[in-house]
Amino acid sequence: MVTAPNNTVGASSRAPRAELLDARRDGAIERAAQIIRAGGLVAFPTETVYGLGALGLDPLACARIFEAKRRPHFDPLILHVAEVRAVDAVGHMQPTAIVLAERFWPGPLTLVLPRHAVVPDIVTSGMQTVAVRVPAHPVAHRLLEAVGTPVAAPSANPFGRLSPTTAEHVAAGLGDRIDAILDGGPADRGLESTIIDVTGDAPALLRAGAIALEEIESLLGRVIDRRLSSSRPAAPGQLEAHYAPRTPLLLSEPGASTDLRAAGLLTLTRREGDDRFAAVEELSASGDLCQAAVRFFAALHRLDERGLDVIYARPLSETGLGVAIMDRLRRAASMTRR
Ligand code: TXA
Ligand code: MG
């Protein structure tokens, strides 16, 4: 393993090869925290997907995130903190935010709040709001505690590509552009956090994610406004084309006479005749959408690695987590239509 000396951490935009840190080993989390505190980039596990972490209140460290991901600067970052009480330092928690936080934090919920001045413009893309999350993953929690200040972290993938749910996915996508990868095993939710904007008069959903909207609506006792438009996204990163494999992806069934010898299939449950495809990924034999969400990105990564001509994704029902999965499939398919 090549270990970058501390004084070079983050000094170059192209690190030699990310240092691999096994979170189960003594000192690994502390080492990851040390690299972040020195201004470097460390990918780390959360319960949703792997994040690419940097010092969230340091504009230069955050700039490296954009460079490594080749992410446009109009797409703001989420700040991650270890404890709910640490959120007050970066944003203002109004009553609805407090209700949501009590129920869902730590967990896969991101709240968009009015920002405080301490948050750099690069984090918010110059907006007066800031996105904040308190992850539940024990490794993320310990890392955030060890860093001691907010950590900005987008998903640890090249911009527009499939999100990473394992350390291997991160290494394949960004391994030569970041300082370290903290391996904490596969993410146990598999879809990004649900994003709720609580800065307006009524809360609004900006991204469907690992918490189903129905759960949030039943807690708040009201219907939540959906602002998921992809042409003018309220969450600027929610572009029409996103989450895309390299292989063309079609969100449909193939025609009856289509040659499927170089075609893959992503399906909730296998059906008779599916063995006509060169490769099939079944997300949940019992049709369980939670299990499907957990497996979703990893299944797409596997299909993408097969060198197929096309991937067919079979539409699934848009209830519960099906909304978030279909949202990602539509964006992935929209990359193919271009
Ligand atoms: O589960 C997750 O949320 C993962 C893990 C690592 O925490 N993070 C993640 O980050 O998915 P990213 O950068 O891939 O997606 C963040 C989304 C983007 O669509 C961005 O535009 C939106 O959050 N966002 C960030 N700050 C915002 C703000 N102030 N207002 C509206 N949307 C915001
Ligand atoms: Mg992302």
pLDDT per residue over 123-165, tens digit each?
999 999 999 999 999 999 999 999 999 999 999 999 999 999 9
Q: Is 51 in the pocket of ligand 1 (CB under 6 A)?
A: yes
Query: Looking at residues 321-332, what average pLDDT do you find?
Result: 94
Share of the chain above pLDDT 90, in %: 86
| 19-226 CATH fold | DHBP synthase (3.90.870)
What does the pLDDT read at residue 25? Answer: 98
Ligand 1 midpoint to CA 237 (Å): 7
Q: What is the mean pLDDT of the chain?
A: 92
Query: Any idea which ligand is nearest the CA of 131?
Result: 1
Contact 162, 266 (CB under 8 A): no
Query: Any idea which ligand is nearest the CA of 48?
Result: 1
Ligand 2 midpoint to CA 155 (Å): 4
Residue 132 phi, psi (nearest 5): -135, 145
Ligand 1 atom having least distance to the Cα of 193: 1
Q: What is the CATH number assigned to the segment(s) 249-337?
A: 3.40.50.11030
Domain ranges (residues) in the chain: 19-226, 249-337
Three-state secondary structure along the chain? CCCCCHHHCCCCCCCCCCEEEECCCCCHHHHHHHHHHCCCCEEECCCCCCEEEEECCCHHHHHHHHHHHCCCCCCCCEEECCCHHHHHHCECCCHHHHHHHHHHCCCCEEEEEEECCCCCHHHHCCCCEEEEECCCCHHHHHHHHHHCCCEECCECCCCCECCCCCHHHHHHHHCCCCCEEEECCCCCCCCCCEEEECCCCCCEEEECCCCCHHHHHHHHCCCCEECCCCCCCCCCCCCCCCCECCCCEECCCCCCCCCCCCEEEEECCCCCCHHHCCEEEECCCCCCHHHHHHHHHHHHHHHHCCCCCEEEECCCCCCCCHHHHHHHHHHHHHHHHC
Name which residue sits closest to atom 23 of ligand 1, judged by CA: 235
Q: Tokens in use for 90?
A: 């970066």
Name which residue sits closest to atom 3 of ligand 1, judged by CA: 193
Ligand 1 midpoint to CA 69 (Å): 14
Residue 42 has pLDDT above 70, yes or no: yes
Q: How confident is the model at residue 228 (pLDDT cuts 50, 70, 90)?
A: confident
Q: Tokens in use for 242?
A: 């996103």
pLDDT one-digit tens code per residue, 85-109: 999 999 999 999 999 999 999 999 9
Query: Looking at residues 199-204, what average pLDDT do you find?
Result: 93
What does the pLDDT read at residue 6? Answer: 43
What does the pLDDT read at residue 11? Answer: 45
Length of the chain counted residue by residue: 338
Q: Is 206 in the pocket of ligand 1 (CB under 6 A)?
A: yes
Residue 337 has pLDDT above 50, yes or no: yes
pLDDT one-digit tens code per residue, 43-65: 999 999 999 999 999 999 999 99
Ligand 1 atom having least distance to the Cα of 155: 14
pLDDT one-digit tens code per residue, 278-305: 999 999 999 999 999 999 999 999 999 9
Residue 13 has pLDDT above 60, yes or no: no
Q: Is 49 in the pocket of ligand 1 (CB under 6 A)?
A: yes
Using alpha carbons, select from 130, 95, 135 the residue that is nearest to residue 114. Answer: 130
What does the pLDDT read at residue 4? Answer: 41
Q: Is 149 in the pocket of ligand 1 (CB under 6 A)?
A: no
pLDDT one-digit tens code per residue, 233-284: 566 666 666 788 999 999 999 998 999 999 999 999 999 999 999 999 999 9
